Amino acid sequence: MLNQLTISELAARLAKREVSAREAMQSCLDQIQRVDGKIHAFISHDAADALAQADAADKLIAQNGRDTSHPLLGVPVAIKDVLAVKNQPLNCGSKILGKFVSPYDSTVVEKLKAAGAIIFGRLNMDEFAMGSSTENSAFGITRNPWDTERIPGGSSGGSAAAVAADECLAALGSDTGGSIRQPAALCGCVGLKPTYGRVSRYGLVAFASSLDQIGTFTKDVRDAATMLNVIAGHDSRDSTSVPQPVPDYSAALTGDIKGLKLGLPKEYLIGGLDAEVKASVDAAVKQFEKLGAEIVEISLPHTDYAIATYYIVATAEASANLARFDGIRYGARVDGNDPIELYSKTRGAGFGPEVKRRIILGTYVLSSGYYDAYYLRAQKVRTLIRNDFLKAFEKVDAIVTPTSPTAAFKIGEKSDDPLQMYLSDIFTISCNLAGICGISVPCGFTENPKLPIGLQLLGKPFGEETLLKIVHAYEMNAEWHKQKPAM
Amino acid sequence: MAAPEIDIKYVAHLARLHLTSDEEKKLGAQLGGILGYIEKLNELDVTGVEPTAHAVPMVNVTRADEIQPSLPHDEALRNAPAKANGLFMVPKIVE
């Protein structure tokens, strides 16, 4: 089954001409046909276009072989519905974009195409990436491939579910407060959120511009390195992308982590941490020690303030960013007698409940008389949170935590209680506020029902090489990632 | 510490976001809870702390002032809900 392969496995078989890109793509399409009715990871996909891209890849391989100049040649990669792919629909899981079709490629998609990838499908997500369960999509909910009564996590729930269910070899997502790492953990795949500024956000629909970062979903750590090699780098079209050289991330995967120092934050032993999650993370820590890493207890004293800070900063930025969806230049429109009425009716009809909640909260914390009390104070606490991390990284090379306090919860369990939903992001949110990098890798399963558990590692700004090296060494000795959902 | 009452109608007007009366009621209650939680930031002393707007601040980012290809006119209008004569159509603004 070619759809079950990792990128590196497929690349090797394509290079030896044992299989064709068309066969690999067809195998993913067959899997979608077989399982996507149950999990609904995809909002839509264009099978004919995907196969045409596969044929083009096969032609290139026939002409030139499959060399390193196109590291993703013939590899099917699916895309979260928040990234622009030329001539494909883009809805952000919302009604408000109507029949929007992207007039251009996002930089990451341009880079993936240049590397030879087959770009296909629109992956489901919480509307405008606001949510932790993929229950907030106007296109229906996505279900966890390990247990279809449960959520896949969010907001990139479609990306995580599609990779876990072998409907594609890799996927792109976006992470504003954990939207890559948390669903990767709950679905049992590898989710990488690079450092803020490492990957261009051009062509990513903005949610919270100072927190958003594009990242990858893959079946193992090696593939995460391969994908990051392709998408990382400065882009003059994103003024916040950082002009730092891109190293060869694959070269960092040496398996040797002797002497590296890993920090365990004492503040992360919170009340709501599930016993099985804790046991799996403890076992992973023991594994790191066996591999020669040194474990150091550290303190991130402002951890308890991260969620409150996040929900001010993120909603404030979102309320400004989402002002552009007003029914004038693109998307759906509800007519009104004057422009204000048109905006108001269009937005009232087009946005779902969670997006409305966050726009109202964000507008409120920025409104006259409250700016200093909420937004400015939150930005100052953000400094304290960032300083916690920078101080910790003077002592350690990376920080180890659970990705999520529990395994996947049931559909509907938290959807009526937004605050409880927000609190489930406790371990992932600080990373975005601090602008550092993070990754989630599988580290075990709960027993009954069997659900994946994720281990999070947080790294220094632009410390992706070290981060990937550490989790790769772990993965080689743990092999949780090789288990597949029954479906 | 009690969170302040939100004037939902006023904030919704600022956000140009029409809400039904049911939505106003539900949102009011939920936001009260969320703002109550957010009040915990007042426990911290932030005197003298500089605000962080961006974790990796880049200042005065410019690029060479050169003409580059941009989105063709018809592509820019491709997704418009209403258009005429190569322009976006909007309701009358000035009487």
Could you tell me whether strands A437-445 and A190-193 are parallel, antiparallel, or unpaired per DSSP bridges? Answer: antiparallel
Query: Could you tell me if A125 and A152 are in contact, meaning their C-beta atoms sit under 8 angstroms apart?
Result: no
Query: Does the beta carbon of A193 lie under 8 angstroms from any beta carbon of chain B?
Result: no
pLDDT > 80? residue A270: no
Question: Per-residue pLDDT tens for A345-403?
Answer: 999 999 999 999 999 999 999 998 899 999 999 999 999 999 999 999 999 999 999 99
Using CB atoms within 10 A of its CB, is residue A7 exposed (0-12), middle (13-18) or buried (19+)? buried
Phi, psi angle pair for A267, to nearest 5°: -70, -10
Cβ <8 Å between B31 and A360 = yes
Interval A294-315 mean pLDDT? 96
pLDDT of residue B1: 40
Please give the pLDDT value at position B4. Answer: 59
Phi then psi dihedrals of residue B9, to 5 deg:
-60, -45
Domains of chain A in sequence order: 2-258 (3.90.1300.10), 304-380 (no CATH)
Task: Give dist(CA A137, CA A351) in Å, integer.
Answer: 10
Euclidean distance between CA atoms A207 and A229, whole angstroms: 25
Q: How far is CA B46 from the centre of its chain?
A: 26
Q: Which of A98, A307, A383 sits opposite B52 (nearest CB)?
A: A383
Contact A461, A433 (CB under 8 A): no
Summarised one tens digit per residue, pLDDT across range A315-325 is 999 999 999 99
Complex ipTM value: 0.94
Cα angle: B40, vertex B41, B46; to 5 degrees: 145
Question: For residue B58, what pLDDT band results from cuts at 50, 70 and 90?
Answer: confident
Alpha helices, H only, A40-106: 47-64
pTM value is 0.97
Shortest Cα distance, chain A CAs vs residue B11, angstroms: 6
Give the model's confidence band at B2: pLDDT under 50 very low, under 70 low, under 90 confident, else very high: very low
* CB–CB contacts below 8 A, A to B: 168
DSSP run (H or E) holding A123 = strand A118-123
To the nearest whole Å, the CA of A331 is away from the closest chain B CA by: 6
pLDDT at A358: 97
Q: Which residue of A has its CA nearest to B23?
A: A353
Residues of B whose CB is below 8 A from A98: 79, 81
Mutate to test the interface with A, among B10, B17, B75 (most CBs of A within 10 A): B17
Find all residues with CB under 8 Å of A25, minimum gap 6, and list them.
A50, A51, A53, A54, A74, A76, A118, A120
CB A295 within 8 A of CB A367: no
Which helix (H) or strand (E) segment holds residue A437: the answer is strand A437-445
pLDDT for the residue numbered A350: 98
Helix (H, G, I), strand (E, B) or coil at A389: helix
Q: Strands, DSSP E only, in A143-182? A: 170-175
- CA-based radius of gyration for chain B: 23
**pLDDT at residue A291 tops 60:** yes
State the average pLDDT for chain A. 96
> How far is the C-alpha of A146 from the C-alpha of A361, rounded, in Å?
35
Looking at the structure, give the CATH architecture of the domain made up of residues B1-44. Orthogonal Bundle (1.10)
| Nearest CA among A439, A485, A458, A487 for reference residue A218 | A439
Measured from the Cβ of residue A378, the count of other Cβ atoms closer than 10 Å reads 26
Chain B residues whose beta carbon lies within 8 Å of the beta carbon of residue A326? 16
Chain-centroid distance of CA A23 in Å reads 27
Active site amino acids of A: 80, 155, 179
